[in-house]
Every structure is written in C-alpha cells, then in structure tokens.
Chains A and B, each alone.
Chain A
Amino acid sequence: MGEVSMFLFSFQSTGSPIVINIVGDLFISILSLWALYALISTGFSLSFNIGRFFDLSLGVSFLTSGYTAYAFTKVSILPLPVNMLFGIIMAGLISTALGFLLIVPLTKRVGSLSLFVATLSLLYLAQAIIGILFGENANVLRPGSAPSIQFGQLHLTDIDAAQILVTTILLSLLLVFIHKSRRGRYVRAISDDPILSRQYGIPVSSTLLHCYIIAGFLAGAAGVFYAANRAIEPTQAMSILLAAMVATIIGGESVGGAILGALMLAFLETIFGFAVSGNWKTTVAFTALLCFLVLRRGGAITQINRRL
C-alpha cells in the first residue's frame, strides 16, 4: 500500500499535476502491457479458432525475435530498429518453417491435446537451444535509460511509443485482413464450422498455415519490443504466453475479443501493481480474472445451455 499512500500524499501536498503524471504513467503502462499481450493473444486466437489448439510454439517466435535482435545488436553497427526488424523477420521465417514442416502435418495426424504437447515440446527445445547459445541470464537489447518522448502531460519512452503504434497498426491490418480479404473469410468460416468449411472446399490446411505464420510474426514483434523495453531470458516466454492465453479466453476467443481481453488483463495487472506489492499483482490480477470467468454469464464464457 506504500505507493497508494505516496500517491495520496502527493495529491494533498502538491495538487493535480502530480495526479495527472501518475495517471498518465499508469495509462502508458497499461497501453505498453496491452501491446505486449495483444500481439500474442491475437496469435493464440488465430490458432485456437482454426486449429483448435493452444499454440505454445508462439513462444519460439517470441524468443527467436528477441534473441536475433540481441545478436544483431551485438555484432552489427546497424541502428536498433533495423536489428529489431531482422528479429521479426527471423521469427516469421522460423514460424513458416515450423508451420510448413511440423504443425500443419501434425494437425492431420493428431488431436488438439497432442498438438498442445507438441508445441510445448517446441518451446522446451527453443528455450534449451537459446540457453546454450546465449546463456540463462537476462540480456538487455539496449543498456541505459531509453530516450523519452513527451505528449502534453504524458511521458513515454521511444520503445513504448513505437510498440503501441506498431501494435495498433498491425492489429488494425489483421482485423482488415480477417474481415475484408478472401482468406479472412476462410478464417471466419473455419472458425465457425471446420467440417462444413472443408466440405465446401475451403482450404483448411493452407489457411491454418497462413494463420500460423501471421501469429509467428505478431509474437516476433512482441518479442523484440519486450527485449528492447525490458530484458529477455530463455525461460520468460512461458509466463507471458500464459497471460496472453488467459486474455484470449476472457475475450471470447475471437481476434477482436483477444485484443479486448489483453486490455482487461493489462489494466488489472497495472492497477493491482500500483495498489498492492509488486509480487502480488499477478496473483490478484488472476483472482479478478477467475472471478470474471466464473461469474460472467454468456459472452466470454461457454456454458452448457439447455437445448429445451
């Protein structure tokens, strides 16, 4: 509760500018966390809707992009955004290869749970390889304090600004792709009824491959921004994936819902991080989400409805 007391004290003693600053900082933190979760949860949403499995191999793209950008930063003199772009491209290439060689063939051979375990194995494998190549310690993409940008009363780092902007653009493009393109119509059709879609001649496998690659790129974008904003280590992907998975489900599985779910989760984590001790914030946020999942009737939650 220390931060709340400080906040109230600042409010009483110095007036509203401090309040605006704190609210502004919270707002930026929420948006930054939303951008991270939204990029991954939309990927989850795509694979869950098309392949009916939770795709933990998004963690592979997340780690690949972050560590590729880190490696390029170490060995090249190119500017950071270019290195980050290389990271995202590498994540896309890896997800293309995995999707083509492993995930799509596996969807024809095994069920959802097996696919889940297979993606978990891929994540284990990626964590181990990255641990061998870069070590287990946290690596920082850009040491030192990040340059700050000011919008009125709001202060944010250049990476925060870029992350929020890029996420907004990418997710808008994704929504346009899903709602306006022919392939997007396939995605919606398979999501509604995969068996009927197949009977109507919709290419389910190639649509899954497209979605898997798009999800890989999005997770790759999340990975480079995470590495640039914080510090990246091989075991970190799992906790972020779980949070994004929760965001997908509370949003109701659709891509739009996943974006909204990510915002809810980011809001809860940031607000509880402000109100309670830092270590408790995830626990409190998940408790609130659990209450939401259990209490909410309809919408984001599937219930057994009487047929009569």
Chain B
Amino acid sequence: MTYWLDLLTLVLILGAAASLIAYLSEEAGIIHVAGAAVMGVGAYTSVLAAMKLNVPVPLALASTILTGFICGVILHILTRRLTAAYLALVTLAVAIILHGIINNWVSVTEGPMGIPVRSLFSDRSLEIVLCLILAALVSVLIKSVTGTSFGLRVRALRDDELLSEDLLLEPQKTRFVLFTVSSCILSLLGGIYAHHLRFIDPSSFNIKESISLLAMGLVLPISLPIRGMAGALLFIFIPELIRFIGLPATIGAQLRQAIFGLLLLIVIWNGKLSITRFKEKVKSNA
C-alpha cells in the first residue's frame, strides 16, 4: 500500500509541475524545457538548507520560493525577445547548464553521489495530503487565471506579441509574471519532491526528466488544469503496472520502456495528443 501511495505522491508533484508547463505551452506559447532543472534548483536549495545548515524543513522549503524567483527572473531576462524554437532552445540550454552545475559542483551538491534527505513529515500520509493540496491549488490557479484579464493577456502574448504591445497589454510584464510565478511553484515542488524521495542526485533533474515533464503536459486531450496530472498518471503508473506483468528481471526495465514508447506513439497516431486538438481548434476558429 505504501508503494502505491508513494507513486500517487509522485503523480501529484510531477502532475502539478506538468500542468504548469502545459499552461505555459498552450496558453502563452512558451515551450519550457527547463522544468525539471528549475525543480532541481528548488530541491537542492531545500536539501542543502535542511541538511547542511540545519534549517528546519518548512523554512528550507520556503527558501525554495526565493531561488525559484531568481530562476524565473533569469529565464525572463534570457528569453525576453525570443519566441518559439529559440525560446525553447534557451530554456534547454538553461536546463543543461543548471544540471551541469548541480552535477559538477561536488563540494556543495555532492555531485553524482547524491545527498540523503530528511523527510518532511514522519507520517507519509501527511505528505500526500500536502501534495494533494498543492496540486489542487495549482489546478485551481490555472483554471481561474484562464478566464481573467491576465489570462486574456497571456493569450494575446501567444497570438501576437507585437499587437499586444501596441494595445498596451504589457506582454513583457506578462511574461515576467509567468516565468517568475511558474518558477517559484516549480522550485517549491522540487523541494517537496526531494523530501519525499529522501535522497536526491542530479539524475532526477536532467534534461530527459525535463522533456518527460513537457510530454506529460502535452500528451492527453483533456482540460488544462488536470491534464498534467493525467499525463503524470500515464507516465508513472503505466510503466509500474507493466512491472506486474511478470517480465524477466534482466530486461524488465527495457521492455517497460519499449511498451511505453509504443503506447505513446499509438496515442499520437490517433490524434489524441492535446496540442493537436488545440491546433485544430485554432484552425476552426480562424
């Protein structure tokens, strides 16, 4: 039972992160490929504060918001005048650089050896409750912001940044808010993720994880606030369920990956990927 609850906690944390990435992609046109890297910054901030400076865990977690804000400001400055593939590429470069720093700054982060981490609560069920609340808050935030004037400014930024500037909709300010708020939340989620895992190393925040996070946010054609959660469910539970088929231990991991890759292809082939529907919607509106 604990095993399944652990998986559920992972789904809630990564699902909330994927929902944010999905919102940025679909509503703002920002393809954020540094999601896991920003989570990594939060994770290491919290862990280093808690384990090396002996700061209480809740305070250590609060400090992740500050480092998340700094990441958001840096991302905004770097991508200020960029769009589409170039913006995605800069976030990709940031992800590689952040991962490189985490991996190579051994005197501080212990590098690939990793760091054992103190858990947030002694009772695991409290962790799930916290993650459930956070995931719900992220979903509510995404749902409520979509209909507001800020949500409309975000769409204007996606559709025509120049026009939105001419209409005094302050697209740069909108981008700044998007990057800083999303980075603060991602960083906080990274902190919680680290305390949930009880051990962190750089491999949890590499570029592959960032791309998986993006894929989780794009893969299913359902409502934006819960899409990340459903994507995380698919990405985390399906490989685990395949584990129970009774595959040979030596090739089990590869077979799970193969089946997962195949399933993902089938989903895309059937045109069920959310971004496909989105494009169709835009075309029909036009």
Contacts and interface: CB of A to CB of B under 8 A. Distances in A.
Interface in B86-114: 86, 89-90, 92-94, 96-97, 100-101, 103-104
Given A125-B258, A293-B90, A294-B90, A109 B271 contact: yes
Contacts of A20: none
Contacts of B251: 131-132
A132 B255 contact: yes
Contacts of B219: 117
Interface stretch (B1-9, B64-72, B77-85, B124-132): B77-85
A106 interface: yes
A125 B261 CA distance: 5
Contacts of A136: 254
A117 B218 contact: yes
Contacts of B264: 117-118, 120-121, 124
B275 interface: yes
Interface in B242-283: 251, 253-258, 260-262, 264-265, 268-269, 271, 273, 275-276, 279
Interface stretch (A143-151, A192-200, A204-212, A300-308): A300-308
Interface string A273-308: 000010110110011011001100000011110110
B275 A113 contact: yes
B261 A128 contact: yes
A1 interface: no
B161 interface: yes
B18 interface: no
A300 to B, nearest CB: 9
Given A120-B215, A128-B255, A242-B207, A302 B84 contact: yes
B39 interface: no
Given A249-B89, A303-B82, A117 B215 contact: yes
Contacts of B162: 304, 306-307
Contacts of B93: 246, 286, 289-290, 293
Contacts, number: 135
Interface string A214-225: 000000000000
A242 B85 contact: no
B211 interface: yes
A122 B273 CA distance: 16
Contacts of A302: 82-86
Most buried by A among B90, B101, B162, B254: B254
A263 to B, nearest CB: 18
B24 interface: no
Contacts of B161: 304
B81 A304 contact: yes
B31 interface: yes
A140 interface: no
B82 A117 contact: no
Nearest to A283: B100
B163 to A, nearest CB: 10
B252 to A, nearest CB: 10
B213 to A, nearest CB: 12
B173 interface: no
Interface string B207-235: 11001000100110000000000000000
B255 A282 contact: no
A121 B261 contact: yes
A48 B271 CA distance: 21
A284 B154 CA distance: 34
Nearest to A52: B85
Interface of A: 48, 54, 102, 106, 109-111, 113-114, 117-118, 120-125, 127-129, 131-132, 136, 238-239, 242, 245-246, 249, 277, 279-280, 282-283, 286-287, 289-290, 293-294, 301-304, 306-307
Interface of B: 25, 31, 78, 81-86, 89-90, 92-94, 96-97, 100-101, 103-104, 161-162, 207-208, 211, 215, 218-219, 251, 253-258, 260-262, 264-265, 268-269, 271, 273, 275-276, 279
18 contacts: A110-B268, A110-B275, A111-B275, A117-B264, A120-B211, A121-B261, A124-B257, A125-B262, A128-B256, A128-B257, A238-B207, A238-B208, A249-B86, A282-B100, A283-B100, A302-B83, A303-B81, A307-B162
Q: Which 4 A-B pairs have the closest CB atoms?
A: A283-B100, A125-B261, A128-B258, A124-B261
